[in-house]
Structure 1
């Protein structure tokens, strides 16, 4: 039973009890008072009539006229004159009347009208006795009206007290609702704090809940910090903070093979030819400072371009991956200028100690082919002796067509529905399908090639057209769900999430197909989610009530920010394939991913591995705590 119903029952019960007590006491008191007033009235009027009769002639007609005059006023039930022997001389009686008062009320509170009497004299002798009995119908009427007014007063007062009680209860209920919401969020592995109310009892409850949330969050953050350190040890070079060789090779393989990677890009490599000599001549501290300066320069370049990555491959080799950039010349020139500045600063004591090689690649090129071309370019630069840069030649390397009217192509493709989704299975360790991952494909021209998202989404991002493409993808997914597919996942771009109009249009679209929303999985890339985090939170808050599953894909490179995800209501994470490649042979990554899965499970998230290439990788995932996987090694069902 709700608190409001209990409140109203308590108010009604207390009102009835108070009314019953007051009613009985008031009615009994009023009845006694009315009986006294009737008795006094009867005696006074009897005395008045007797005095009047005593002063007039005592002939029967006169006496009867006087009695009739009093009786005909209608206030008396009986008027009579009795002689000294007790025999009635004149008697007037009217039938009993209740005046519309219910019989049950009369029987519950009977009013007796005691007769009043007075002596009538004739000189010094007694002529007779006058008796008057007033009607009690007027007393009953007054008593009944008083009871009715009392009922109205208590009813109105009870209603007023109920309304006041409701307002008080609403004020009490608001902080209680907040505590209930906090408890529900904790059951969903979301740890949120609430404002503490001013009511002392409720304040202590809210304070205790907030303290518990703070402790859990602190434990969560401590574990996340520990795992971030494990990740850095497993994937980063301790001196420069750049990616180590194994992690960078995984990133490079993803750039060459992943479906949503840009269609082309550049790889730039820098080699210090005499690092051992620098270390010997200038000392270890100077050599370390040299490496840190080069690492900081490469890291600054990587941070300004989406998807870029910088690495220290070994003691003297550095690499910079630039997806979507097919002109590495400006970067190479800046690296040469950096090396000259280091020579001028005394950190390098010679001209022929640094060489740069670069190569432009296309999506699908093999890792060995690209590395061999760039290695050949470095060897060519080393052959010249001094600081130099050489770019690898490749017949396969083609620049993007900068002259194409991409806006027209994209608008035409959307208008003519030259868009489709392809399917990749996402399954758990037992092979059960979790959902179908459905990336978007676009046909630039009729009967033309279907382009992967990596080919057109970067252009759409520059042209602010990602919202239309994402809405089209969601609409295609809903159509597939309507045909009976179990579950479909669609990628949304970070630029779309940033657009408030897109969020509202998506909400309206899903609201009209709400029966399908529970089978729709919507995911945003890690870089887009954290780059526009406030908008991402607004997106999850708007879409989650519709029943969609929400997640982040390509997760892991910004693992240190996982603490921001504990209270926004996500459902799953897809871990970036660069952490998954060769996971069966990388203990450092295994420790990191096992901890990542543990933390994610503690906040109620499903964890899925991306880009699983081999059966050995797939077999390792359940031991690390993964709930599912996608990639070439996952069989189609």
Structure 2
């Protein structure tokens, strides 16, 4: 029950008790007073009337007339004269029940018990009779009733005023309680937030205790973050530039070539600073390091400039002079290849006075069906040809991008638009399970039906991103999957991937939240995932989405996570339920002790804030068997039974 309602009940109870107590006390006192006054009035009137009657002739008619005159001029209920033998000489009575507006139940409750006034009427030396006088009690009952009603109205008015004042005071006092409740709910949801301490002593003690708990969790997470960042820098990052090292590049390539979708296409670019030893001799060690950092920064800038052309970018320094750029789900390597070549030329020209610089570049596209050694051989051949030309240039390993062979831009715009409007986008579902075999959810993988062809996500999602259709695509999928789930009798939980473009589009985001709110009865069966890279690049949009979806009961998670999880601000405040580790971290773990140690740290930090950790892309039962030792809770991929 609400505290405000309890206050009203308490005030009403107190006022009722006070009213009844006051009524009983005042009622008894007033009734006693009226009974005493009526008794004295009866006695006085009886003595006065008896004295008057004793002085007149004892004619029955005259006596009766005098008694009638007295009865008519006074408020009497009974005037009666009885002779010594007990027979009535004269009598006048009046019914008192009809006086006033006093209810019968009150008249019975407040019945006045007044003894009649009694006086002897002499006749010379003999007794003529005995006079009995009873005054009307109805006026006293009316007075009692009016007093009771007035007392009730006063108490009711006071109770209403006290209730209103109490509500205002309570609202002011309990305003900090809202923050206390939110903080308690947040801690219950594994979100550790702090609030300012209220002035109310009891609330302040509770808030202070929860803030201390939150502070300890934050300190623990901070220490774990620092340790993980140090480990990541040591194991996966180049010490000079901060980008990935050769081990990180190998993990990325292994994961991409093991992709379940054979139709995904990616781009890879190699950049070589030719004759590094000679440059180092001319510029010196410090200036050479600065130049290498400039090369890395230029590559990062070009990748960032074309962010809408691919899903993820991975930059690595393979050795002292070689750099790699891998772009996943890249449709066309040509624009980025041209930009990369122009950028390296500008860099070479800027440093031409200090040392003659030459950059050799090679570009290629590949998919999960390609052989790794064949890819690297083509790239090495391209680097050799570019280096032989003795000027900064880029050689393409293949002249035609394979992704372009499916359809052109206009074709894909028409295909995707028609599919979204016609509901030709559907999903196939692959299970994600705990290590003991229990189902966590079934992840929805998109398919597009066009004529008699069925395109996989790797074929049309890059085009949807390039054409700006991802928000409409996400909305169509979410609406379709929620509708399908609502019509199922035997429901199984599902997971839906959302693009950051949907969360950044105000119209699409509002429609998405509206769909989720409309189907909130299905919330416990639906998980919503956003890629880690998107969460880091757009933290405000993701936080707003979490604040809207989590209270509805939806499970929010992060996919492709692990590499930069420590860079997510206030991870413990977002209300997340799980993370799915990027497959590059979980591939070939048996021979990769550095990744195993790193994963132990990731799972420890995730478990500290109540997150379930899921390994993505597990391909065999051997890989599945070793995940439990690393603290991983569940897995997905072809190595799991459906």
- In structure 1, the residue corresponding to 2:602 is in which secondary structure? helix
Cα distance, 1:495 vs structure 2: 1.0
Alignment check: 8 A CA contact 2:262 2:367 kept: no
Which of 340, 346, 369 pairs up with 1:337?
346
Question: 1:65 corresponds to which residue?
Answer: 65
**1:158 Cα deviation from its structure 2 partner:** 4.4
Relative distance call for 1:607 and 1:543 in structure 2 (3 A) is same
- Asked if the contact 1:120–1:128 (Cα under 8 Å) also holds between the matched residues in 2, the reply is yes
User: 1:241 — aligned with what?
Assistant: 242
Of the candidates 377, 381, 386, which is equivalent to residue 381 of structure 1?
386
1:232-253 per-residue CA deviation (whole Å, 9 max, x = no partner) reads 2221101111210111232244
Give the distance between the partners of 2:274 and 2:199, measured in 1 at CA.
70
Please state whether the residue corresponding to 2:568 is helix, strand or coil.
Answer: helix
The DSSP-based 3-state class of the residue aligned with 1:439 is: strand
Residue 491 of structure 1: how far off its partner (Å): 1.3
Aligned to 2:592: 586
**2:461 pairs with 1:457:** yes
What is the aligned partner in structure 2 of residue 112 from structure 1?
Answer: 114
- Aligned with residue 609 of structure 1, among 615, 621, 625: 615
Q: Distance in 2 between matches of 1:335 and 1:107?
A: 106
Q: Would the alpha carbon gap of residues 201 and 109 (structure 1) be closer, same or farther in structure 2, given more than 3 Å must change?
A: farther
Quote the Cα distance in structure 2 between the aligned partners of 1:550 and 1:528: 14
2:549 to 528, 543, 546: 543
CA distance in 2, matches of 1:630, 1:215: 33
Q: Residue 365 of structure 1: SS of its match in structure 2?
A: coil
Preserved contact between residue 555 and residue 574 of structure 1 (Cα < 8 Å):
yes
SS at match of 1:249: helix
**Stretch of structure 1 that moved more, 612-621 or 65-74:** 612-621
Q: For structure 2, which runs of at least 5 residues remain unmatched after alignment? A: none
Aligned CA-pair RMSD: 3.8
CA contact (8 A) 1:518 1:546 kept: no
- Which residue does 1:29 correspond to in 2? 29
Q: 1:485 to 1:17 in 2, by over 3 A?
A: closer
Work out whether residues 494 and 524 of structure 1, in 8 Å CA contact, stay in contact via their aligned partners in 2: yes
Structure 2 counterparts to residues 73-112 of structure 1, below 5 A: 73=73, 75-79=75-79, 90-94=89-93, 97=96, 110-112=112-114
Deviation of 1:612 after TM superposition, in Å, equals 3.1
- Cα offset, 1:470, TM superposition: 1.5
Q: 1:87 to 1:509 in 2, by over 3 A?
A: closer
Could you list the runs of 5+ residues in structure 1 that have no partner in the other structure? none
**1:474 match:** 478
Asked whether the 8 Å contact 1:80–1:88 carries over to 2, the reply is no
Question: Residue 534 of structure 2 aligns with which residue?
Answer: 528
Asked whether 1:315 is paired with 2:323, we answer no
Contact 1:360 1:392 in 2 (8 A): no
C-alpha deviation, 1:565, in angstroms: 2.8
Superposition map of 1:435-584 within 5 A = 435-443=441-449, 445-448=450-453, 450-478=454-482, 481=485, 482-483=487-488, 484=490, 486-510=492-516, 513-584=519-590
**Equivalent residues, number:** 627
SS of 1:521's partner is strand
Aligned to 2:431: 425
Report the TM-score when normalising by structure 2: 0.85
Structure 2 vs 1, CA of residues 317 and 261 (structure 1 numbering), >3 Å: closer, same or farther? farther
Q: Secondary structure of the equivalent of 1:206?
A: helix
